[in-house]
Amino acid sequence: MDAPHAVVLFSGGLDSATALALAREQGFICHALSVEYGQRHAAELAAARRLAGALGACEHRLMRVDLAGIGGSALTDLARPVPDTPTSGIPVTYVPARNTILLSLALAWAEVLRARDIFVGVNVLDSSGYPDCRPEFIAAFESLAALATKAGVEGAGVRLHAPLIRLTKAEIIREGLRLNVDYAQTVSCYQADAQGRACGRCDSCRLRRAGFLAAGVTDPTRYQGLQS
């Protein structure tokens, strides 16, 4: 039997790089999808381009949708600073409906490819508390997908895999290292510079740094202001 195909949402960050490596380990032929939605940290897309092949994707596609035009998030509105300290509740880096949009684009591409499987690197434990990273959101999207497409109606269905969803950041990192993911090449920072170097202060940097510490491995992240 031929290996199954999967679409893997791939931002170029630590989590989605690990999700891609896990999808490959499970035997999927992986079509990596990055989305340029107007995020200030466009350096993650450059990382995605560099990494997709190294992680074994058979192809890498970039789709564009302009969410900066509507604003509503510190990640897409340059007038709203990214916080340097933790905040309570859902932070201003939340992008309205982002994962719904990303998954709907992945669903479209999967249907064209006749792929039944979609991978997404969301996780709920060491995350910023975004509503669209929770297991109940993932389950609801999978239910929607079965009704939304011709493939779904004709019985092929869609399986939405979120293999990291209940892992800590340290566990994610250990999984990735086991699969030889080169985390030095990944960009998680919300305000990475053009070279992909991290600020070290934003929520995403804090979670990532704490993950390497908890995993007991050296943090390979290239930080701004340091020689790299």
Written as one letter, the residue type at 94 is: Y
**Smallest distance, a second copy to C-beta of residue 29, A:** 16
41, 75 Cβ separation under 8 angstroms: yes
Encoded tokens for 208 = 């990532």
Nearer to a second copy, 94 or 212 (CB): 94
Nearer to a second copy, 137 or 190 (CB): 137
159, 115 Cβ separation under 8 angstroms: no
The bridge status of strand 159-161 relative to strand 29-36 is: unpaired
SS3 32: strand
**Smallest distance, a second copy to C-beta of residue 31, A:** 10
Nearer to a second copy, 37 or 183 (CB): 37
| Residue ranges binding a second copy (CB under 8 A) | 61, 63-67, 69-72, 90, 94-101, 104-105, 107-109, 111-112, 131-132, 134, 136-137, 140-141, 143-145, 147-150, 152-154
Nearer to a second copy, 153 or 184 (CB): 153
**Smallest distance, a second copy to C-beta of residue 174, A:** 29
Q: Which of 61, 7, 75, 64 is nearest to 36 (CA)?
A: 64
Nearer to a second copy, 131 or 220 (CB): 131
Nearer to a second copy, 153 or 226 (CB): 153
**Smallest distance, a second copy to C-beta of residue 69, A:** 7
Written as one letter, the residue type at 2 is: D
**Smallest distance, a second copy to C-beta of residue 64, A:** 6
Q: Which helix (H) or strand (E) holds 103?
A: helix 98-113
Instruction: Please state, in angstroms and as integers, the Cα–Cα distance from residue 70 to each residue in 73, 75, 102, 132, 167, following that order.
Output: 9, 12, 16, 19, 33
163, 120 Cβ separation under 8 angstroms: no
**Smallest distance, a second copy to C-beta of residue 100, A:** 4
Using CA atoms, how far apart are residues 106 and 64, in angstroms rounded to an integer?
12
